[in-house]
């Protein structure tokens, strides 16, 4: 994907353009959805797909612009950015993120008929310590769903490390630049001295408070047959045939990269916890064609998780890498049970439990 433009272009040109587009869309979006959408839906039949898509795109632009206006007001209230790192300003930005995600998913549930369920043990809750959240990566928007759950239901302040291409979205760019989050430039485009993912994760992990949650996706991208096969080939090339054989028996997930996880463990507070998240419901949505075929999604996204104290993890690097691999085996087992229509446990169960 094309690299984002410089910061001043994103702030002075791109963000105002989104707000202007939203102003134009407010009086015309309903007309656009009803007239143009209806006409196209007649030409391209299929459960009002065009109508839903046009409405969702229009809503997202307006949502993005509204967030930018609120963020600009917060910038002014913080003394034009001078008090941006004060606790009350940070809390205000977390509140804005929580409200914005709630509004976005209210519309997603209504337009795309998407339901989100969380399977947890009765009475379970995240402890008041920093949490490292490790999630599988499959399907569009799973990172948005996870962040919404952390903000809304878990009442956490999530931190996330993202690819810099997401800075094309002005609201995400502005909001996350003011929170304990970071955009990482891929190695091929990284300037000398510019921090990479490991350094960024270390910095954010060290600053996590008791209500913080660092979100990591160890697979590094959505699961595809080609990527999955390549990860297994890498294991065999390194002489890890036993792990490669186990990975071949995990059809739903890819071998996780441990680098970011290990960096976070080295920096996070010793009383922290690790939450491994499994989810299912978006697995078949890989390409644009898949998404179009499934509209409206009319799906139930189910999330399940297991919590482990950092102090209970192996102390050595090799042991921690193996622990992470075993967690992904648990995730795969949980997904298999869900896909087969079985009653999966509230948390992903180990293959041999």
Kindly report whether the global pTM for this prediction surpasses the value 0.85: no
DSSP-derived secondary structure for 189-254: GPPTT---HHHHHHHHHHT--TTEEEEE-TT-S---HHHHHHHHHHHHHTT-HHHHHHHHT-TT--
- pLDDT tens digit at each of 353 positions of the chain: 678 888 889 998 889 999 888 887 776 665 665 555 555 554 554 566 777 777 788 888 889 999 999 999 999 999 999 999 899 999 999 999 999 999 998 888 887 777 888 876 544 567 789 999 999 887 657 788 888 889 988 889 889 888 888 889 999 999 998 988 888 877 777 778 777 788 889 999 998 989 999 999 998 877 888 999 999 999 999 999 999 999 999 998 999 999 999 999 999 988 999 999 988 866 665 555 656 566 655 677 888 888 899 999 999 999 999 999 999 999 999 988 887 654 444 445 443 33
Q: Is 268 helix (H, G, I), strand (E, B) or coil?
A: coil
Q: Return left, alpha or beta for 69; rule: phi > 0 is left, psi -120 to 50 is alpha, else beta.
A: alpha
* Cα 99 from Cα 36, distance rounded (Å): 31
């Amino acid at each position: 994907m094309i690299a984002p433009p410089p910061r001043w272009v994103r702030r002075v040109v791109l963000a105002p353009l989104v707000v202007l587009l939203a102003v134009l869309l407010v009086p015309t979006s309903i007309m656009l959805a009803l007239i143009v959408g209806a006409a196209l839906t007649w030409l391209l039949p299929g459960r009002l797909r065009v109508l839903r898509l046009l409405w969702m795109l229009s809503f997202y632009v307006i949502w993005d612009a509204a967030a930018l206006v609120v963020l600009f007001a917060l910038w002014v209230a913080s003394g034009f950015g001078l008090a941006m790192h004060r606790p009350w300003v940070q809390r205000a930005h977390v509140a804005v993120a929580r409200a914005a995600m709630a509004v976005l998913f209210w519309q997603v549930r209504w337009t795309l008929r998407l339901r989100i369920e969380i399977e947890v043990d009765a009475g379970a809750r995240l402890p008041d310590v920093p949490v490292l959240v490790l999630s599988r990566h499959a399907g569009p928007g799973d990172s948005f769903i996870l962040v919404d759950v952390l903000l809304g239901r878990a009442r956490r302040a999530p931190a996330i490390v993202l690819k810099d291409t997401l800075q094309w979205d002005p609201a995400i760019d502005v909001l996350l630049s003011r929170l304990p989050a970071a955009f990482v430039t891929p190695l091929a485009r990284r300037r000398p001295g510019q921090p990479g993912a490991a350094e960024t994760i270390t910095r954010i992990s060290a600053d996590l408070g008791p209500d913080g949650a660092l979100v990591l996706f160890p697979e590094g991208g959505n699961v595809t047959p080609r990527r999955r096969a390549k990860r297994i080939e890498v294991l065999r090339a390194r002489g890890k045939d036993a792990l490669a054989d186990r990975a071949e028996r995990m059809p739903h997930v890819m071998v996780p990269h441990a680098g970011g996880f290990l960096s976070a463990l080295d920096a996070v507070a010793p009383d922290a916890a690790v939450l491994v998240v499994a989810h299912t419901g978006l697995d078949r949505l890989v390409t644009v064609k898949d998404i179009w075929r499934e509209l409206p999604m009319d799906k139930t996204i189910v999330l399940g998780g297991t919590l482990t104290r950092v102090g209970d993890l192996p102390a050595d690097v090799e042991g921690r890498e193996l622990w992470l691999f075993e967690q992904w085996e648990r995730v795969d087992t949980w997904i298999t049970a869900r896909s087969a229509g079985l009653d999966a446990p509230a948390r992903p169960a180990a293959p041999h439990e």
